[in-house]
Structure formats: structure tokens, C-alpha cells
Amino acid sequence: MAAADYLPPLRQDTQSAQDYACFRVAPLSGGLGAEVEGLDLRQGLSGAALEEVRRALLNHLVLVFRDQDLDADQLIGLGRTFGDLHVNPFVAGLPDHPEIMEIRSEENETARFAGRWHSDITWEERPSLGSLLHARTIPAYGGDTLFANMYLAWEALSPTMRRMLDGLYGEHTAFQGHGRAAAFADAPDLVTHPVARTHPETGRKALFVNEYFTCGIQGMTTDESQPLLDFLFRHLQRPEFTLRVRWSQNALVFWDNRCTQHYAANDYPGDPRLMWRITVNGDKPY
């Protein structure tokens, strides 16, 4: 049987707008993602609105909020609603707000913060629950962010491949993505996480290896593990698993790092781009 025969029906748990009392939700693709309308995040989140945003994130994996003119304190306050915030040891945050990472591309700069599919900080023992990215300056065109659904990537593998991978552990290191020049940073050399991670809230399995930080499979030689990882890295990019978010000024995107990966497109030559990112700490995968 061809690999495509194992592709499950594309699905989100796409609750309609009337299923949310505090805002409206419009799904963006068959694989993942939704726009949320009717919330002013400057006021923070609490009560029913917070619970519904949490539910919408579990249902859609990526949430897009347009026209959210947040300052640094408001962004940090919003992130802390969902948990403790990560301070990246490799990239300095804002001077007065170390939790906020600036993702900055200057005019006429060609080396950009882009180029590989990944989930944030999988090199930590407790990788991220999710990330919030806020558009401060956007190019005239381009600079989109792509997202991929790792539930679907796992479920589309053949039963034979899933049986082989289930129980294996991927090896993750920050130094593959950030370089050994940062070896002084407070980060572990190597951590292991299940190749198939069980989401702690939904109970669904998701593929949990990425080309930025996964460097091997525990118990395998490089010659054995690299072809397998290369296949998985190609597989998870299949268009039917993905969503492309076009940025607008002051848009905020909140995604679940436990079951998605993302990719920043470097297709805006000569234009500046500035984003603020905060990352919410998660739990140890199992």
C-alpha cells in the first residue's frame, strides 16, 4: 500500500462560532489554525474568556488575533496567564523585559531568523507549552509563518512505521541550532524526548522530532538514525498538514508547541521586520 493510503481524514475539532460565548472563531485550514475575533487582549484574559481561549487552542492548535496593540508589560502579563515564561540563554531579551525575545531583521539584511521547521526549545528537559508572537514591524509583503500539525503527521504514518517509532526517544540539543559558540549558556548538552509525544491535555500522540534541534535517536548510530530522521523531517512538511499565516500590523499568534511545528519564511528582501516572542514553559514529555 502507498504511504498516502494511511493518511487519516484531515480534521480539526472545528467548533463553530456559537460554541464560544466570549468571541468568534473562524477556522483557517483543514489541518489547523483559526482566527479569533472579538477579544481585546490588552485587557488580559480571565474567567470564561481564558477557559475558552485554552479550549480553542486545544481545538485549533494555532490561534490568530488581529489588531492587538500590546506593550511589553501587557504581552508578558498575557503570557503569564498560561504559565511561567522562558528566558532564552542564547538570545538576549529586551533590557527591561528579558522574557521577550526580539526577532529582528534589519533593512537590507539577508541572514534572517528563519529557515527550518521546529518546535520551540525542545532542547530543554521541559520544552515549551506554547509561544506567543506579536508583530511590531512587518514588511510590505512576505515574512509569513507556516505551521504544521504534528498530530496529523503522526497519524499519517503507516501502522508499521508507528509501531517501530513508538517507544523510541529522540536526542535534542540546543547547540545544533544555535552553535557551540554559545556553549557557555545555561542549557543542557543533550536531552531525550519520545519520538511520539502524548499531549498532556488531549491524550493524542504527536510526532516530536524537528530538524533544528533533534540530532539523533537514542540507542542508534548516526548512520542508522539520520535517514529515519530525514524521512520524518520531509514527511511532517506535507502541505495537507500545514497552515500559512500572513502577518498584519499588531497581529498576535499563539500556538501549541506540544503538537505543532513552525517555519519562518525568508522572502522579504530589503525590508525590516520586528517581532516580539514570549514562550510559556511546559512539562516533561511522555
In a domain, 5, yes or no: no
Considering the candidates 197, 262, 271, 273, report the single residue annotated as catalytic. Answer: 262
Residue 201's domain comprises 11-281
Q: Is 136 a catalytic residue?
A: no
| pLDDT bucket at 181, cuts 50 / 70 / 90 | very low
Q: What is the pLDDT of residue 278?
A: 98
Instruction: Tell me whether residue 262 is one of the annotated catalytic residues.
Output: yes
Is residue 1 domain-resident?
Answer: no
Q: Say if 128 falls within a structural domain.
A: yes
Give 223-284 as a DSSP string.
HHHHHHHHHHHHHTT-GGGEEEEPP-TT-EEEEETTTEEEEE----TT--EEEEEEEEE---
- Assess whether 118 carries a catalytic annotation: yes
CATH of the domain at 98: 3.60.130.10
Q: What is the pTM of this model?
A: 0.90
Q: What is the mean pLDDT of residues 200-225?
A: 97
pLDDT in tens, 236-285: 999 999 999 999 999 999 999 999 999 999 898 878 899 999 999 999 99
Residue 286 maps to a domain: no
Per the structure, the count of domains in the chain is 1
- According to DSSP, residue 11 is labeled -
pLDDT in tens, 53-109: 999 999 999 999 999 999 999 999 999 999 999 999 888 899 999 999 999 887 556
**What band does 3 get if pLDDT is binned at 50, 70 and 90?**
very low
The verdict on whether 277 is a catalytic residue reads: yes
What pLDDT shows up at residue 269?
81
